Amino acid sequence: MRVACIQMRSGIHRAENIPVAVDLIRKAAADGATFIATPEMTNVVDRKPRRLFEDLPFAEGLNEAETFASLAAELNIHLLIGSMAVALNKEFGQRKMANRAHFFAPGGGRATYDKIHLFDVDLPTGESWRESNTIEGGDEAVLVQTPFGGVGLSICYDVRFPHLYRRLAQGAADILAVPAAFTVPTGEAHWETLLRARAIETGSFVMAPALGGTHEDGRVTYGHSRLFDPWCRIGAEKADNEPGVLLADIDVAMVQDTRARIPSLGLERDANLRTYTL
């Protein structure tokens, strides 16, 4: 089957970002992709919470979800919108959003996943991020079973927490989706290594569509969307941060072959921790 990672550079206006995503998804489908994934925060990127929440609807009013659902049906594709910002029902002044992935099947089925691990860090470059100030994290891992195999959902900073991916793989995920908006310092240092590690540890395909470049709100993201096969070979890579489509042909049967060679998912054992003070 042919799959595609969409690389984008979302701005502060949802009404401008969605047509860009739609055009790139259509291009990928025209090139034969039947499973297409977009990056984290496909619908909006805005570091100013007040401005963001002024135009951010709750889930029932998120028109772009219906746009993408209709697109999946029209193009006969499985479509993962890596994540979209969705307002949660909080009192004014305490409002938060979900960083929510949306999976659309061509027949109308849907699944969602809320990012569990939030990016609260201070980088050596002086960049400081506190996603927990505006985002309410999820608490449930999500696996989507499709006719071509299981897809495990995750978002960006989740990639640093390998137990999530092992749980998804042990639950029959063949493809692990890691849509992201990585910063440049962490992207240059860790992006590829982390994706490779998740592929090796689980014997899964890893699809990682990313945001890239300098965004309208001043944020800079790394880009470099990637796809790794279960043996950790690069299936496809985008060597820049420009918007575009990354295509790859994959054979999902390779997952079971790889896991049969190295059956680590079935050999995992719990161990008590013994500490010595010497």
Domain ranges of the chain: 2-264
Place of tokens 């042990």: 170
Angle, CA 149 vertex, CA 71 and CA 228 arms, to 5°: 90
Place of tokens 């506190």: 130
Considering only 71-80, 105-114, 129-138, 247-256, which range has the smallest mean pLDDT? 129-138
* The token pair that represents 206 in the structure block: 């890893």
Q: What is the dihedral of CA 186, 192, 198, 200, to 10 degrees?
A: -150
Catalytic site positions: 40, 115, 156
**For residues 223 and 210, is the Cβ–Cβ distance under 8 A?**
yes
Looking at residue 216, its pLDDT comes to: 96
93 pLDDT band, cuts 50/70/90, is: low
pLDDT > 70 fraction of the chain, expressed in percent and rounded:
96
Looking at residue 94, its pLDDT comes to: 65
91 pLDDT band, cuts 50/70/90, is: low
Domain 2-264: state its class.
alpha beta
Average pLDDT of 231-248? Answer: 95
**For residues 160 and 154, is the Cβ–Cβ distance under 8 A?**
no
Task: Give pLDDT tens digits for 47-64.
Answer: 898 899 988 999 999 999
Looking at residue 125, its pLDDT comes to: 67
The helix/strand/coil state of 104 is: strand
Cα-based distances in Å from 79 to 100, 113, 175: 14, 14, 13
* The token pair that represents 192 in the structure block: 């590829």
Q: State yes or no: pLDDT of 228 exceeds 60.
A: yes
Residue 176: φ, ψ to 5°: -105, 120
Whole-angstrom Cα distance, residue 225 to residue 180? 9
Whole-angstrom Cα distance, residue 173 to residue 267? 17
Q: State yes or no: pLDDT of 251 exceeds 80.
A: yes
Q: In 56-82, which positions are buried (b, 16+ CB within 10 angstroms) versus exposed (e)?
A: beeeeebebbebbbebbeebebbbbbb
Q: State yes or no: pLDDT of 156 exceeds 70.
A: yes
Looking at residue 127, its pLDDT comes to: 66
* The token pair that represents 163 in the structure block: 């137990």
Give the ranges where the chain is alpha helix by DSSP (H): 14-30, 49-54, 63-75, 162-170, 184-186, 192-202, 253-261
124 pLDDT band, cuts 50/70/90, is: low
Whole-angstrom Cα distance, residue 174 to residue 153? 11
Average pLDDT, the chain: 94
Positive or negative, the Cα torsion across 252, 253, 254, 257?
positive
> What residue ranges in 115-165 does DSSP mark as E strands?
120-122, 128-130, 142-146, 149-153
Task: Give pLDDT tens digits for 175-225.
Answer: 999 999 999 999 999 999 999 999 999 999 999 999 999 999 999 999 999
Average pLDDT of 256-266? Answer: 95
